[in-house]
Structures are given as C-alpha cells and as structure tokens.
A = this chain, B = another copy of it.
Amino acid sequence: MNQSIPVNQVSSISKSSCQHCSLSNLCLPLALDSDDMNRLDEVVNRDRIFNRGEQVFTQSTPFRSCYAVKSGAIKTSVITESGDEQITGFFMPGELVGLDSMSDDTHASTAKALERTSVCEIPVEQLEQLAHTLPGMQHHMFHLMSQEIRNSHQLSVLLSKNTAEERIAALLLSLSTRFQRRKLSPTHFNLPMARNDIANFLGLAVETVSRVFTRFQNQGLIRARGRDIELVDLEALQTMAQGTAQT
C-alpha cells in the first residue's frame, strides 16, 4: 500500500517477547516484573498481522481475546440496529483493544485495522487467570478498564458540550500526547484515520471536519497536507480545547 510501516514495528518484534518489546513501558508488561513477564509471554499470541480495512474482531461474535496494538492503528465501533456506525475509539501502539467485552461472551464492538497493523492477541481466559495469580496484573487491568471508562466519558463531554473546532482540537491534542508517549514527535505526525473516521468519531459531518482543518490552517494553528499533520501552535490548540482532557 504505502511505505508507512516504519521503524517501530521492526524494533518491537526484534526478540518476539514482551521483555524486549519497545512498548513494554506502555503496554501490559508495565505492571510486571521480569519474572512475571515470562508468564505473560507464554500466553501471548504474537505477530498477528492485519491489513488496512481488515477486521480484528466483529460485534456479537464470540469474545475470546483482547488485543494489544504493536504497530499500526485500530478503530473500534459499535453498529446500531438502524445500521449506522459510531466509532468509539482509536487505538495506537501500546494500547489494549477489546476491554468493552471483558467477561462477556460476545464482542460489544467491531475492531478494524486503519492501516497495516500488527497486534498481540491475549486470550481472555488466560488473561483472567494471570490477573488472578498476579495482583499487579489485576490492578493494572482495573486501571486500564477504568481509564477506558474515563475516555468514553470524555468523548461524551466532547459530543455534548463542545463545538466542532473544540472537538477537533481535542482530538489532535490527544493524538499528539499519544505520539509523544511513544517518543515520537508530538507536533508532526501522520493521521492514521481518514477524515470520514474523524467525523464519525466526533459526531460531525465530513464536510465540517474538512472546513475546520482548513480554518485551522488559515489561522496558522496547523499545517495539513492530507493525513500529514503538523501542529504549529500547540498553545492555541490547547486553549481552544480547554476543558477537554486529553487521553
């Protein structure tokens, strides 16, 4: 497709173990010492690859595993009976997908790769087992899940209280901090998702998203060429998104 599967993937699979994964300080291993990490290693089903547009799992199919994003990006969405999609989250490397179905028998949402994406599959049964034996793991799972709740609450705030500009500023900043967390540039990055996905996620029309992007550009806040985004005036974006916590 394109040559955008860069360095980080290569480095993270170098040893094919959590110990040596470059994301270990973001992902599940965060909670574990190196002894315990071996236990996790035994359970993880590494290096599952999905091409852009492929589904990692599908709403109302049996729930077996959570997935940690290793490289690439994933969107999750729920489909309503009336047939339309609401994107509920974007997941970047180091983030865990599928928590909304924990201890449920079917998936509550659909996960789709936004670009070529590799994930680590973690069977729930064994994840629960692991959480049971390793208190640190249980604690971390609780932490991740509560964070997921807070994220979703923040989305609700965005959707019900903020203007189109504020929502988009908030999203850009959220992405920015998440890139930074991975030691990548917080001000210059490639959007993993299409305008369409942004619009859907933020409860806007595509046209509105497009207009806001150009308005931001004209105001000198950002520099955008397609999915290539440069945040020029972080301060201004932050004050614009004031009152909206970023993930």
Are the C-beta atoms of A82 and B159 separated by less than 8 Å? no
Which residue of B is nearest A77, CB measured? B153
A138 close to B (CB within 8 Å): yes
Residue from B84, B148, B243 within 8 A of A82 (CB atoms) = B243
Q: Return the CB mask of A87-127 against B: 1 if under 8 Å, else 0.
A: 01000000000011111100011000000000000000000
A-side residues, CB < 8 A to B, are 78, 80-84, 86, 88, 99-104, 108-109, 128, 131-132, 135, 138-143, 145-150, 152-157, 159-161, 202-203, 242-245
A80 to B244, CA, bound (A): 6
Q: Determine the residue in chain B with the shortest Cβ distance to A145.
A: B145
The oligomer's copy count stands at 2
* Known A80-B243, A83-B243: A128·B132 in contact at CB below 8 Å: no
A81 touches B153 (CB 8 A): no
Please indicate the chain B residues that have their CB under 8 angstroms from the CB of A138 in the complex: 128, 131-132, 138
Residues of B within 8 A of A146 (CB): 99-104, 108, 145
Q: What's the minimum C-beta distance from A207 to chain B, rounded to whole angstroms?
A: 16
Residue of B102, B140, B142, B203 near A159 (CB, 8 A) is: B203
Q: Are B141 and A142 in contact (CB under 8 A)?
A: yes
10 cross-chain CB contacts under 8 A: A82-B243, A86-B153, A86-B157, A86-B160, A100-B153, A108-B149, A128-B138, A141-B142, A145-B145, A145-B146
